[in-house]
Structure 1
Amino acid sequence: MSTTNGQWYPPEWPERIRLLSAGELTPVTPRRAATVLLLRDGPDGTDGQDTPQDARDARNGDGEHSPDELGAPERLDTVPEPAEAPEGPETPPEGLRNAAGAADGLAVYMLRRRASMAFAGGAYAYPGGSVDPRDERMVTWAGPSRAQWARRLGLDPSEATQAQAIVCAAVRETFEEAGVLLAGPTPHTVVADTTGDDWEADRAALVARDLSFAEFLDRRGLVLRSDLLGCWARWITPEFEPRRYDTWFFVAALPRGQRTRNASTEADRTVWIRPGDAADGYDRGELLMMPPTIATLRQLAAHGSVADALAAAADRDLTPVLAQARVENGELVLSWPGHDEFTKHIPGATGGPSA
């Protein structure tokens, strides 16, 4: 279904919403998931990309585009220390320059999901994915305790193991999809390079689920750096979706020496881009995104540096955002609480009063 901007809105949604409202559709239980907004200051373009091709094509008229407790306990309001940018000259992507022509502003790493993907195909998103049950296995841990993370994530303190699994999923998926690893040989260090053949073999084994993340960390003698993550938001896929996720969004600085790369088979493009520029592309209908993606981009755009964004994470409200559908004046109204820009009015509604 076309929109005037880049909001992801599958054509089957209206019928599924009607079925849910009529009590004819049973919501599936969402799977827990984690995604990471990798951030950096200054020069970008580590993947050889600049402005997303979709935006350039749209401006040039090329094609059509539819308008995504081993470590000591620490307080979770402690601000993660932003990693320095990798050394060496890099050219900022188009749109990441200030009026004087110098590199400027906070940038976020995004990937475009392949159009063939069953969920959110063609949409821009961040590295992330579902929790693997093996993410609950004990790992060497630095940063806030598992119980502290449980409280921060909105879980019961007794769910410390589940909290670890969510944090592990965030770190694991970032390594699997972007080649970036938030772990180090000690509780105060991070590996400087993950680009060798041996690293790639381990990453592929993780993706294939031939290797658990706990086994990977243990084999390499690494400590998971939970203190480098800040939790930013929590969104739950609407009840009328056949694939549902309860997703925690984290922010983290790109570690010094590490470089992102498109390591995911689920993505066909990657880009470092300033949040405001990505949001502008969405508003013009050039970049397709799911509501959580554009919402987090707009929130990040208010922060001028990685340090500012990481500091803000400590106070972020993690109340889950879940879409609601209701019948109003003969039409279905789909809305996301606190995010009026995503509200949709669907005429010709039938069924019960609410979803």
Structure 2
Amino acid sequence: MHAESFNALFGTSLIRVEPRPAATVILMREINDRHGFEILMLKRSTELNFSAGAYVFPGGAVDPDDIQLASRCLGINDAEASKNLELDEGGIASYVAAIRECYEEAGIMLVRPRDDGSSGLGSRHLDLRSNQVKEKYTELRRLMNEGMVKFKDIVNSNDLVLTAADLHYVSHWVTPPGGSRRYDTRFFVARVPESQDVLHDEGEIVDSLWLKPSDALRRFEEGELRIIFPTLRNLSAIAKFNTTEEVFNWASGLTNIPTLSPIRVYENREAKFVLPGEELKRS
């Protein structure tokens, strides 16, 4: 068995491409009657250049504007966020990006009105059960996805705050060299607000599923769902837990989270992805 960079997945490039900061959220919800919990997975359009047709968690690249919402983040500041992500500064932008992408791709708003009065961690979120409120933020989301308004403007003009402290950092993945697109992605876990429903954007995202992590892994093994390697590994990490509370307890205890960058290996002429060192264990 031998290993090589997984150029074939993303194409090859003679130009050195620096990874772009990105953020992803594993959104979870409890199942009634203590039957475990489910996670949200979104299907990317087959027309996209990156991970086309794959089922992923809500997420995307950090935008330059994201850092401008640092003062609107509830329960965590940039110094604390940067310490969590082991950065000198600017870590809060990843938290903002994660929240923004949930809204862009899935219609989930991890925000609340500033005058809500709740304390921060675990605070109630914007209630979208009212048709009037739901229609308002659905239309604003459409305008945002069409580039006619920015997320920061929606937040500021409606005097919202981001419940950033409710996001728990769990893993760090970097696309290996060789492709024309590379991402330096921080993965978070969070609960979906009970007062909101998922509405995928019908653009980049063409389908959405709520399912148990173990069911997602099974459906991948059966060839029903296409799931990329980092997503699989994060699914495997949380599949061993029975409740979202157990996931959060695990996440809150994580320290010195390593940076992971997979490689492609061949076994019996079949390509697969592993982490560095795993190909030696399998030899």
TM-score by length of 1: 0.67
For 1:182 and 1:129, how far apart are their aligned partners in 2?
Answer: 16
Q: Given that residues 45 and 206 in structure 2 are in contact (C-alpha distance below 8 angstroms), is that contact kept between their aligned partners in structure 1?
A: yes
Structure 2 unmatched ranges of 5 or more: none
Instruction: Give the secondary structure class of the aligned counterpart of 2:91.
Output: helix
Please, which of 78, 97, 103 is the counterpart of residue 169 of structure 1? 97
Q: Given that residues 105 and 305 in structure 1 are in contact (C-alpha distance below 8 angstroms), is that contact kept between their aligned partners in structure 2?
A: yes
For 1:191 and 1:301, how far apart are their aligned partners in 2?
Answer: 29
**2:134 is aligned with 1:193:** no
Listed as ranges, the matches of 1:249-260 within 5 Å are 249-260=187-198
For residues 21-53 of structure 1, the C-alpha deviation after alignment (integer angstroms, 9 at most, x for no partner) is xxxx3431111111111101115xxxxxxxxxx
Structure 1 residue 266 displacement after superposition: 1.0
For 1:132 and 1:14, how far apart are their aligned partners in 2?
Answer: 22
Q: Given that residues 135 and 212 in structure 1 are in contact (C-alpha distance below 8 angstroms), is that contact kept between their aligned partners in structure 2?
A: no
**Correspondence for 1:37:** 26
**2:121 is aligned with 1:125:** no
**Correspondence for 2:79:** 147
For 1:340 and 1:298, how far apart are their aligned partners in 2?
Answer: 19
For residues 153-200 of structure 1, the C-alpha deviation after alignment (integer angstroms, 9 at most, x for no partner) is 1211xx1xx212111110000011111111111344311117622111
Structure 1 unmatched ranges of 5 or more: 1-8, 44-101, 346-355
Greater Rg over alpha carbons, structure = 1
For residues 283-305 of structure 1, the C-alpha deviation after alignment (integer angstroms, 9 at most, x for no partner) is 22221111111101111101111
Give the residue type in structure 1 aligned to 2:75. Answer: G
For residues 111-146 of structure 1, the C-alpha deviation after alignment (integer angstroms, 9 at most, x for no partner) is 111111111111110111111111111442211221
RMSD of aligned C-alpha atoms? 2.9
TM-score by length of 2: 0.83
**Correspondence for 2:154:** 216
Tell me: CA distance 1:116–1:229, structure 2 relative to 1, closer, same or farther (3 Å).
Answer: same
For 2:94 and 2:225, how far apart are their aligned partners in 1?
Answer: 28
How many percent identity over aligned positions?
29
Please, which of 222, 240, 248 is the counterpart of residue 302 of structure 1? 240
Please, which of 6, 9, 12 is the counterpart of residue 8 of structure 2? 12
Tell me: CA distance 1:171–1:238, structure 2 relative to 1, closer, same or farther (3 Å).
Answer: same
**Correspondence for 2:261:** 322
Please, which of 260, 275, 279 is the counterpart of residue 336 of structure 1? 275
Instruction: Give the secondary structure class of the aligned counterpart of 2:21.
Output: strand
For residues 190-229 of structure 1, the C-alpha deviation after alignment (integer angstroms, 9 at most, x for no partner) is 1111762211121122223332322211111111111111
Give the residue type in structure 1 aligned to 2:18. Answer: T
Please, which of 217, 238, 241 is the counterpart of residue 179 of structure 2? 241
For 1:15 and 1:129, how far apart are their aligned partners in 2?
Answer: 20
Instruction: Give the secondary structure class of the aligned counterpart of 2:206.
Output: strand
Instruction: Give the secondary structure class of the aligned counterpart of 1:35.
Output: strand
Instruction: Give the secondary structure class of the aligned counterpart of 1:261.
Output: coil
